[in-house]
């Protein structure tokens, strides 16, 4: 398994489980591939080192409304989700539509470690080491047709296993979408693990999207359907409040959410009185992804 580092992130920046994150392992990976990784470029200069989080903090402080709206509800309730067997339907404008078993997908994909920043629209952040594969490789497996412009995603909807579905907070199932060029960008991955283990249910088992330059809600969890389409697909939070949650949802410190300033963020694990830190444009990945939005008004296309 290859190790890929993004930008300036160091082992001290990882929101990590200390038993897994050891210096020899990380430095061996960094020496083998270089700090920039295959996508190339330096993301941004970190203003300070981050305090590492425990496994418990990372796996209990998250949003997964299918299991409840509290930060600890997913960890309390997600054990009810059956993740094996698991099938992902890939359909729409593809050459080989069908139901793809998770085990068959894993046999064909190349897994890597990716250490990424995670920025929530609620203005908190973490740094997470994911295991996964590039979404582009999965799309290649299905064969994207020429007219496809967007990729739509859908989360599992199992009322017997997901108690949060009884709440009308969103229209279920949870859906998300990317422009095709965003989806096939080398930074965009489908994550299957975290901290060297299988990804926990509350973090999106067995397969979730990770798009590190966008707010966390774009990284849809427990994916059961991927559709290649020509028109921009609906997305759950944009459908709920289009004036608050745009389709793109790129991390942008200059465009505030109506309820939260996006200029700064609170690092989980930094302590109750830890100072907030500045949020970088595109969550620090501008060098890699800014060209995707050349000429666009990012305040209008938020």
> pLDDT 10s per residue in the chain (302 long)?
443 434 556 655 655 454 444 433 433 333 332 223 333 332 222 234 464 467 777 899 999 999 999 999 999 999 999 999 999 999 999 999 999 999 999 999 999 998 899 999 999 999 888 999 999 999 999 999 999 999 999 999 999 999 999 999 999 999 999 999 999 999 999 999 998 899 999 999 999 999 999 999 999 999 999 999 999 999 999 999 999 999 999 999 999 999 999 999 998 887 778 789 999 999 999 999 999 999 999 999 99
155 labelled ligand-binding: yes
59 labelled ligand-binding: no
Q: What DSSP designation does 94 have?
A: B
CA distance 233 to 227: 9
62 labelled ligand-binding: yes
Which has the closest alpha carbon to 233: 295, 153, 174?
153
CA distance 207 to 125: 21
Residues 6+ apart with CB under 8 A from 181: 292
CA distance 296 to 28: 40
Q: Which phi and psi angles does 180 have, rounded to 5°?
A: -60, -40
220 labelled ligand-binding: yes
Tell which CATH classification among 3.90.420.10, 3.40.630.30, 1.10.260.40, 3.40.50.300 matches the domain 2-293: 3.90.420.10
State residue 189's pLDDT score.
98
201 labelled ligand-binding: no
203 labelled ligand-binding: yes
State residue 43's pLDDT score.
29
State residue 274's pLDDT score.
79
Ramachandran region, residue 269 (left: φ > 0; alpha: ψ -120 to 50; beta: rest): left
65 labelled ligand-binding: yes
Which has the closest alpha carbon to 230: 185, 184, 177, 187?
177
CA distance 130 to 169: 29
243 labelled ligand-binding: no
287 labelled ligand-binding: no
Widest pairwise Cα distance in the chain: 54
């Amino acid at each position: 398994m290859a190790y890929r580092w993004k930008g300036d992130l160091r082992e001290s920046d990882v929101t990590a489980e200390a038993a897994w994150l050891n210096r020899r392992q990380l430095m061996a990976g960094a020496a083998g591939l270089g700090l920039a990784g295959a996508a190339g470029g330096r993301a941004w200069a970190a203003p300070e080192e981050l305090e590492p989080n425990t496994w418990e903090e990372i796996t209990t402080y998250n949003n997964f409304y299918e299991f409840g709206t509290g930060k600890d509800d997913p960890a309390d309730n997600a054990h009810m989700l059956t993740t094996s067997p698991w099938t992902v339907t890939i359909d729409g404008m593809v050459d080989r539509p069908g139901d793809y078993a998770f085990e068959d997908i894993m046999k064909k994909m190349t897994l890597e470690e990716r250490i990424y920043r995670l920025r929530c629209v609620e203005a908190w952040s973490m740094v997470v080491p994911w295991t996964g594969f590039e979404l582009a490789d999965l799309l290649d497996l299905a064969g994207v047709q020429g007219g496809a412009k967007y990729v739509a995603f859908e989360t599992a909807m199992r009322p017997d296993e997901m108690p949060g579905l009884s709440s009308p907070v969103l229209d279920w199932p949870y859906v998300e979408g990317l422009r095709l060029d965003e989806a096939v960008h080398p930074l965009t991955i489908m994550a299957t693990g975290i901290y060297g283990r299988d990804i926990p249910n509350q973090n999106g088992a067995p397969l979730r999207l990770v798009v590190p330059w966008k707010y966390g809600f774009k990284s849809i969890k427990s994916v059961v359907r991927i559709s290649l389409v020509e028109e921009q697909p609906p997305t759950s939070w944009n459908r709920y409040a289009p004036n608050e949650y745009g389709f793109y949802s790129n991390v942008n410190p200059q465009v505030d959410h109506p309820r939260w300033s996006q200029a700064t963020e609170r690092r989980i694990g930094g302590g109750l009185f830890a100072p907030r830190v500045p949020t970088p444009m595109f969550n620090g990945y501008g060098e890699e992804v800014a060209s995707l939005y050349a000429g666009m008004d990012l305040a209008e296309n938020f």
